[in-house]
Amino acid sequence: MLMAISMFSFVLNDGLMKALFADMSIYQGIFLRALVTVPLLAFMAWRARVLIVRLAPRDSKLVLLRVISEVAATVGFLTALAHMPLANVTAILQALPLTVTMAAALFLGEPVGWRRWLAIMVGLSGVLLIIRPGMTGFSIYSLWALGAVAAVTLREILTRQLSHDVPSLPVALATAVAICGLGAVTLPGVQWVAIDPFMWVYITGAGVAVIGGYLFSVMAVRTGDLGFVSPFRYTSMIWAISLGFLLFGDLPDLPTTIGTAIIIVTGLYSLNRERRRAAETAQATD
């Protein structure tokens, strides 16, 4: 339930931001959202006594690279979101468990058997079915979504290499500050839109939702078995389709629906294989 709520929170943030992009640039949007998220995260880090932490040089470099990848992912994702249906962008991001598994095998040397490699290849074919390069329905902004997938994959690989004693809140705060800075430095190049009270409701809601998504995700992972909890990340598609229809009147077409189903099925299979392998390794160690 916690993971499902986390996914709803993230998708709610996406839906509210997409609604804002109808009237303002993405850079004004992320700057204004950061005005909500940065103080909240700073307060939470202060309460947890991790507002200022000293990191080892290796961890400092990893955090810096992680922040850069997170900023790139935010720009890519929100650019795609501003021009594509919510469900389509969310569907492309469902490939993340597959791309992270592939990257971990290629760059970290994690063992991946032929069955999971096959699942990855089939899952990526589902992504191509959603994007449809060179065919009717192709959107150049799909490439921005793919860029976001690549950036988040890099972020996850960097996160796995961080020391276990690095607190999560300062890393999240550093990311929020960097995104706020990006929005601030790009504002002179975009047309500023006057903000009415209703827009502030959307901005505040998006800021609270994205922090809620982060917190509920951490709570789910810390209190539940990871192998059982992880598949519930795919509930984000339910929320994306529902909010996409309620807010924008969008419904995914047949190729997008089939591609999404392929990605989810192969992702669940890969997660199940990973869970079984971890259990077998634990038994062998015992």
The four Cα atoms 108, 111, 112, 113 give a dihedral, to 10 degrees, of 160
Tokens of 164: 């276990």
Is residue 153 within 8 A of residue 100, CB to CB? The reply is yes
Predicted pLDDT at 147: 95
Q: Kindly list the domain boundaries of the chain, sorted by start residue.
A: 2-285
Q: Would you say 133 and 140 are in contact if contact means Cβ atoms under 8 Å apart?
A: no
Those residues whose C-beta lies under 8 Å from the C-beta of residue 75, and which sit 6 or more positions away, are: 26, 182
Sign (positive or negative) of CA dihedral 240, 246, 250, 253: positive
Q: How many other β-carbons are positioned within 10 Å of the β-carbon of residue 177?
A: 16
Residue 215 Cα distances to 3, 6, 99, 183, 194, angstroms: 10, 8, 24, 24, 31
pLDDT in tens for each of the 286 residues of the chain?
888 999 999 999 999 999 999 999 999 999 999 999 999 999 999 998 988 888 899 999 999 999 999 999 999 999 999 999 999 999 999 998 889 889 988 988 888 888 889 999 999 999 998 998 767 667 889 999 999 999 999 988 888 888 878 888 888 889 999 999 999 999 888 899 999 888 999 999 999 999 998 888 877 766 666 567 778 888 999 999 999 999 999 999 899 999 999 999 998 888 887 777 777 666 666 5
Q: 121 to each of 95, 97, 99, 263, how far by Cα in Å? A: 11, 12, 10, 10
Predicted pLDDT of residue 226: 58
pLDDT for the residue numbered 272: 82
Ramachandran assignment for 109, one of left (phi > 0), alpha (psi -120 to 50 degrees), beta (any other): left
pTM over 0.85: yes
Name the residue among 96, 121, 103, 99 with its Cα closest to residue 230.
Answer: 96
Q: Which of 100, 236, 98, 79 is nearest to 142 (CA)?
A: 79
Cβ atoms of 88 and 248 closer than 8 Å: no
Q: Angle 86-93/142-160 helices, nearest 10 degrees?
A: 40
